[in-house]
């Protein structure tokens, strides 16, 4: 398993003539007891990878919806250890590739080596740490590598061409392409320049799969992302909002099923 499971998920989707769907949910939301059921529902709906958020008090890359989810999770007593327990339960039930998304401070407090060892033991395959650039991620990357975890980095519309190559060289699993400026959150439409952006990144991505996130919320968004040449789409805020609004896991599964169907267009 490990980061190769992430790459294999993208490869398998490609072989079926579809894009991969990465479904993000906040670990511990609405509470640690119910969180695994929502993640399992996302897998049952067809998500190719699950991205599990670790709640943090200062989530600089996240918009209001995911910020509120983090607050709910923290108030319900969720800790990094809790999220690892949730990941282990979800892995046992679904077998889906898992990527943990968390900010660096909780990982540093946990201990880089200790966190990577615990994450791998719980079935995680990769890590996304949005506030840690490659230049400052050397020791974490080495720890992740020792435990088979892929460290996934982000590129944005303003990332310079030369830097895209640098970031890709430090990334394992897939390259996360931020579709627009700003934080996470639902938007009405995808950027009109997305195809050109994907093409520019692909030329420098070293063969890594490219998944587009931030603002991807509807089936038509997913369809547009895959149609523009991406290997996958990341949907987060829309799914988190469903949990916030009290939708049962079965309803979330149906929502994910609709999103996944759009990857086949």
* Beta bridge partners of residue 25, listed in sequence order: 52
**Is the peptide bond prior to 167 cis by the omega test (within 30 degrees of 0)?**
no
Q: Give domain 3-262's CATH architecture.
A: Alpha-Beta Barrel (3.20)
Q: How far apart are CA 56 and CA 103, in angstroms?
A: 7
Task: Give the residue ranges of the chain where pLDDT is below 50.
Answer: 182-186
- Asked about 158 being catalytic, the answer comes back as no
Mark whether 62 is an active-site residue: yes
Structure tokens at 197: 């952006």
Of the listed 51, 85, 231, 253, which one is catalytic?
A: 51
> Rounded to 5 degrees, what angle do the CA atoms 199, 201, 202 make?
65
Of 18, 29, 62, 186, which is the active-site residue? 62
**Digit-coded pLDDT (tens) for 24-60:** 999 999 999 999 999 999 999 999 999 999 999 888 7
Distances (CA, A) of 98 to 11, 43, 123, 215: 16, 10, 7, 21
| Domain boundaries defined on the chain | 3-262
pLDDT digits (tens, 9 = 90+) for 167-180: 999 999 999 999 85
Report pLDDT for 2: 81
Q: How far is CA 141 from CA 110, 132, 165, 167, in A?
A: 15, 11, 17, 12
pTM: 0.94
Residue 263 to residue 94: CA distance in whole angstroms: 21
- Which residue pairs, CB below 8 angstroms and at least 24 apart, start in 35-40? 35/73, 35/78, 35/86, 36/86, 36/89, 36/90, 36/93, 37/249, 38/243, 38/249, 38/252, 39/86, 39/90, 39/94, 40/90, 40/93, 40/94, 40/249
């Amino acid at each position: 398993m490990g980061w190769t499971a992430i790459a294999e998920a993208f490869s398998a989707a490609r072989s079926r003539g579809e894009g991969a769907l990465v479904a993000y949910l906040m670990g511990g939301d609405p509470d640690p007891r119910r969180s695994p059921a929502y993640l399992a529902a996302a897998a049952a709906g067809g998500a190719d990878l699950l991205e599990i958020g670790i709640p943090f008090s200062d989530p600089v890359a996240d918009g209001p919806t995911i910020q509120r989810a983090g607050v709910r999770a923290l108030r319900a007593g969720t800790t990094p250890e809790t999220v690892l327990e949730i990941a282990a339960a979800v892995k046992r039930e679904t077998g889906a590739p898992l990527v943990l998304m968390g900010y660096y401070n909780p990982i540093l407090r946990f201990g880089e080596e200790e966190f990577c060892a615990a994450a791998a033991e719980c079935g995680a395959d990769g890590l996304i740490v949005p506030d840690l650039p490659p230049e400052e991620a050397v020791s974490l990357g080495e720890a992740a590598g020792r435990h088979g975890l892929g460290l996934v980095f982000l590129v944005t519309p303003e990332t310079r061409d030369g830097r895209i190559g640098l970031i890709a060289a430090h990334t394992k699993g897939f390259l996360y392409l931020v579709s627009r400026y700003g934080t996470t959150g639902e938007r009405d439409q995808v950027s009109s320049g997305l195809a050109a952006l994907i093409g520019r990144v692909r030329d420098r991505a070293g063969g890594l799969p490219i998944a587009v996130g931030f603002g991807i919320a509807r089936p038509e968004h997913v369809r547009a992302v895959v149609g523009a040449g991406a290997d996958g789409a990341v949907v987060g805020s829309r799914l988190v909002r469903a949990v916030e609004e009290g939708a049962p896991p079965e309803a979330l599964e149906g929502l994910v099923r609709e999103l996944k169907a759009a990857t086949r267009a």
